[in-house]
Structure 1
Amino acid sequence: MKSFPKNFIYLWHYLEWGGAQVLFFGLMKEAKKKGEVLAVMPKGSNMQLLKFLNNLGVSYEFFDAHIDAAPADSLKRKLERHWKKLYCEFVLLKYVGKYDLKNSVVHTELAPWQSLWALLWLCRKSTVFMTMHNSLPAVRRWRFLLWKLKFQILSRNKNFHLFTANQDTKESLRPFVSGEFLETVKVIYANINPEEIDEALMAQVDRAVYSKKYNLPKEKFFVFCVGQFIDRKGRWIFLEAAQMLLKDNNDIAFVWISNSKPSAVDLEKAQSFGLGENFRFITSDQVGSEHIDLFKLMRLADVFALPSYLEGLPISIIEAMGLGIPTISTEINAIPEAIKHLQTGLLIDTGNSIALKDAIQKLKDNDELRENLSKNGREYALAKFSEKKVAKIAVESYIEAYQQRMNDN
């Protein structure tokens, strides 16, 4: 007789949120069919994230600590950040220890190369899953050997299971784990809900009304980006391309949507590009409490552009393609798993604002190309990155691993 976990616990230790949590949303919906679902996160987490969880009917609780994600430019800062991580993990483990972990599955964002001891503690108590979103970077030899040792220890633990969010990330694991373990690693792609996408496309979206609501200039060719306003997302490349395009085009405007407000320093630098009303920054809490509200706003976009330096496979690219928005991004990591150049989108080199400018101009000037990329991109995204398909793989893996653990015990 099949036994099912009593609880599915989704656990992370940072305040910022994004693609990892969006991926969790789909998994949570499927897991709710099998048991209780709980999200556990740091106190002070983003209110917009909590609204999404409320809409999903997912319970959530907080522990009183979080990691320090700010850059560490000195030895002192590195030691401070490391100490805060250790303290955060102690508080986190103490908090989740009150649950019936034996009869639960824990899906966490704790990374093997950073949180070995915390993961080993969880594996003693529960069935543990972790998702890697980005491929591992090249590091110094001593760090590579240390990471390999940590992966080897965890991969030998029967209660530790690994997903990757794309094939590129899975391949990056090859030097760190055995071939036998690598075969057990399943890919659960960043994904979209086709019904939600279709609902957004069928909704009435008055361009003039939406432009007024978000203080956007009227009758412009809109280039959108959705993602954290940070360096690795290529924010300054985006604005440099915008600056160049506006020299020759007076009918184009740029919009960046992020789940958090930029710092005063970042806003000042963005204003220094002199884009005026032709650049707007919008935070997700201005958009609405449901994901479909974002999709409706994105329908204003004529082109979507994300010039990242480092990525896994960004959910924003998949969403833009699903909405039929011609999409431009960089030829790095897993992005080519979604964007096939001149077929489902356009690929450019990283750090190249001229290439981004040229790609946007090319789409602006070529209606036929935009229509082809819109059609092909949407079909590809809906076929390959379906939320239900991905969630089914994950939840079936949860149950299989849980049952194996119960049988072993």
Structure 2
Amino acid sequence: MFKVLVIATSRKTRGGITSVVKAHEKGEQWNNYHCKWIETHIDKNGKYKLWYFIKGFVQFLWVLPSYDLVHIHTSEPPSALRKCLFVSFAKICRKKVIVHFHAFSPDTTVNSKYRWIYHYLFNRADRVIVLSEMWKEYVNNALQLNDKLQVIYNPCTTEILKEKHEKKNIILYAGTLNIRKGYADMIKAFALVAKTYPDWLIVFAGNGEIEQGRKLSEKLGINKQTEFLGWVNGYEKDKVFKEATIFCLPSYAEGFPMAVLDAWAYGLPVITTPVGGIPDIAKDGKNLLLFKPGDIKSLADQLGKLISNKLLREDIAKESKLLASTTFKLETINNEIADLYDQLLKE
């Protein structure tokens, strides 16, 4: 009976990797391959992070001999550097290794001064999972991994609750408020159309630069049409997604944005940028609306287009539901993971 060791962040850490591993945990392959999750990173202070890493690594060494495959989740350079240690010991013990790559920008990873880290990590893996065809091209151009690369999308992981909530004139942003995610662009773009649509709000669900966002909305005179909820989860997250009418994520870089997957699961029409895995499936004007990162005027135009056109919203919402129930369906992705485990373990 084959057994798989999964190396990833803490269950308590916010972010895409934790969401993805929790989603994998729900699949039949998790039990069929006796998967065990070793937590190696947590969002705490430096000393606690070091202690957490050491604890996770010791646990890894203790159980490694009794496992057959090691599935390692990693992203940006600090994470990748830590994971080099796990890959090295796994290969010393002659275990099969999958590296699951979740990074959000090739310019900070495979096309950067840290390229050597990924060269070491990926070349020792038996298979490297990337989140889109675009990411496959990025990684292969940088490191020439060819057949070692495999695209497996992130799944729609959202658990939609039974409670009903009335729709409101809300344009929702979900995720950390930082420069990379482009939250300030959304505020600036909405300010261009806010007077035309005085009964509409933009709502930000996420931690990060909340005070900066408030100050910007006040400066642009739209503070009465802007709300900052902070980090939401569970019932509050379900409520705000059900109340929203439009979803917007103006990111400059992504792997495959989990927030967009959440929006599709709730059947929301999405406005976003062609970054990360989005170009794999994007049909502008049919299954979402696109604009170039940083193009405030174009984003304002797309916001106005969806606000003013209910029929277009409904058509794109249908496509959102279709994507969530087919290409990005949880069972579909978990079956792909199971097939990969089976293939590698029987080689």
TM over 0.5: yes
Shift of 1:355: 1.2
Find the structure with the greater CA-based Rg: 1
Among 275, 280, 292, the alignment partner of 2:222 is 275
Corresponding residue of 1:251: 199
- Partner of 2:202, secondary structure, is strand
For 2:178, the aligned partner's letter is I
Corresponding residue of 1:206: 165
Shift of 1:393: 1.3
Show the 5 A alignment for 1:346-365.
346-365=289-308
For 1:207, the aligned partner's letter is E
Corresponding residue of 1:33: 31
Contact 1:322 1:379 in 2 (8 A): no
Shift of 1:360: 1.0
Shift of 1:362: 0.8
Corresponding residue of 1:228: 176
Corresponding residue of 1:288: 234
Contact 1:255 1:281 in 2 (8 A): yes
Contact 2:180 2:251 in 1 (8 A): yes
- Partner of 1:351, secondary structure, is coil
Shift of 1:151: 4.8
Determine if the alignment matches structure 1 residue 96 to structure 2 residue 70.
no
Show the 5 A alignment for 1:140-289.
143=112, 147=115, 150-157=117-124, 160-178=126-144, 181-192=145-156, 196-197=159-160, 200=161, 203-207=162-166, 221-258=169-206, 260=207, 262=209, 264=211, 267-269=214-216, 271-285=218-232, 287-288=233-234
For 1:283, the aligned partner's letter is G
Deviations 1:134-159 (A, max 9, x none): 46534899956x72x555544543x5
State which drifts further: 27-36 or 363-372.
27-36
Deviations 1:261-308 (A, max 9, x none): 5465555445544433421122344x427xxx6344302111111111
Shift of 1:189: 0.6
Within 1, Cα distance between the matches of 2:2 and 2:329? Answer: 25
Specify whether residues 192 and 303 from structure 1 end up closer, same or farther in structure 2 by C-alpha distance, changes over 3 A only.
Answer: same
Deviations 1:153-195 (A, max 9, x none): 44543x54310111111111122334xx42232211121159x
Within 2, Cα distance between the matches of 1:400 and 1:193? Answer: 25
Shift of 1:8: 3.2
Among 2, 5, 21, the alignment partner of 1:4 is 2
Deviations 1:232-252 (A, max 9, x none): 110100111222222222111
Corresponding residue of 1:369: 312
Among 102, 125, 131, the alignment partner of 1:133 is 102
Corresponding residue of 1:120: 88
Among 20, 24, 40, the alignment partner of 2:17 is 20
For 1:249, the aligned partner's letter is Y
Shift of 1:229: 0.9
Q: CA RMSD in A?
A: 3.4
Determine if the alignment matches structure 1 residue 298 to structure 2 residue 241.
yes
Specify whether residues 266 and 240 from structure 1 end up closer, same or farther in structure 2 by C-alpha distance, changes over 3 A only.
Answer: closer
Specify whether residues 143 and 242 from structure 1 end up closer, same or farther in structure 2 by C-alpha distance, changes over 3 A only.
Answer: closer
Determine if the alignment matches structure 1 residue 387 to structure 2 residue 344.
no
Could you tell me the TM-score, scaled by structure 1's length?
A: 0.72
Contact 1:16 1:45 in 2 (8 A): no
Deviations 1:355-377 (A, max 9, x none): 11111111111122111111123
Within 1, Cα distance between the matches of 2:43 and 2:107? Answer: 33
Specify whether residues 229 and 297 from structure 1 end up closer, same or farther in structure 2 by C-alpha distance, changes over 3 A only.
Answer: same
Within 1, Cα distance between the matches of 2:177 and 2:104? Answer: 21
Shift of 1:384: 1.0
Determine if the alignment matches structure 1 residue 332 to structure 2 residue 291.
no
Task: Report sequence identity in percent.
Answer: 19
Contact 2:131 2:255 in 1 (8 A): yes
Within 2, Cα distance between the matches of 1:140 and 1:323? Answer: 32
State which drifts further: 329-338 or 261-270.
261-270
Contact 1:232 1:310 in 2 (8 A): yes
State which drifts further: 132-141 or 220-229.
132-141
For 2:2, the aligned partner's letter is F
Contact 2:193 2:304 in 1 (8 A): yes
Which 5+ residue runs of structure 1 have no aligned equivalent? 47-62, 67-83, 209-219, 405-409
Contact 2:181 2:251 in 1 (8 A): yes
